[in-house]
Amino acid sequence: MSDNYVLSAVDIWKSYGKGATFLSILRGACIEISAGEVVSIVGPSGSGKSTFLHVCGVLDPPEKGTVSVGCMDVWTVSESRRAKIRNSELGFIFQFHHLLDEFTMLENVAMPSMLAGCSRKDAFDSAAVLLEEVGLSGREQHFPSESSGGERQRAAVARALILSPSVVLADEPTGNLDSANSRIVEDLMFELAARRNQAFIIATHSIELAGRAHRCLTLDDGILRS
């Protein structure tokens, strides 16, 4: 893999089921992404967008193919090594924010950092900076139930960035938001990609969001096409 790419997935194959239930999802899908680049992936429901993100995000192994994060082929190393790569180099944003209701926004954002071994003070300091960066200064002690859908999703973006990952994988990040909040979250992702030089791979049904990306790829018959 070229040193210019922060993530590369080559010839990814993935299927589910057996016999009559066999379903081939990915048939040689490939992607290469550079620091600061935003790439969108479009395709109909069931085309394999989420599956591809899960393979790239070291959540689900491919049947064939390689995924490299930096210069590391992640599916050839130990599970403990993969876990470290997943936690330190990759961030995840989902359609639903998955914040924990019993914790404040600050605690939710700080949690990955504390789980990685950072002190409570350092984790909270970093989380506060990120909450300000995503426009949630003053909301640190609010609970998710006290926040709007757009605020919760912005907090989820901050949580994905707390460990400064090289690549953020976003699966329908605006799919549960109204048009106004969708635009806010979209703007935020592009601003962060530019300011922090972080790559974003965004699976989306939104034609508007897909069109704003530096590149838009279509998942068609298991292959990513430009």
Q: Which domain holds residue 195?
A: 5-225
The amino acid occupying position 160 is: A
Q: What is the pLDDT of residue 2?
A: 45
The residues that bridge with 218 in the sheet, in sequence order, are: 42, 225
Spatial separation of the C-alpha atoms in residues 161 and 107, rounded to whole Å = 14
Task: Report the Cα 68 to chain-centroid distance in Å.
Answer: 16
In terms of phi and psi (left: phi > 0; alpha: psi -120 to 50; beta: otherwise), the region of 43 is: left
Percentage of residues in the chain having pLDDT higher than 90: 68
Q: What is the pLDDT of residue 70?
A: 86
Spatial separation of the C-alpha atoms in residues 45 and 23, rounded to whole Å = 14
What tens digit of pLDDT does each residue of 112-124 get?
999 888 999 999 9
Q: Domains in the chain: how many in total?
A: 1
CATH at 95: 3.40.50.300
Spatial separation of the C-alpha atoms in residues 221 and 216, rounded to whole Å = 16
What tens digit of pLDDT does each residue of 144-185 get?
999 988 899 899 999 999 999 999 999 999 888 889 889 988
Is the pTM of the predicted complex or chain greater than 0.85? yes
Whether residue 41 contacts residue 201, with contact meaning beta carbons closer than 8 Å, is answered with: yes
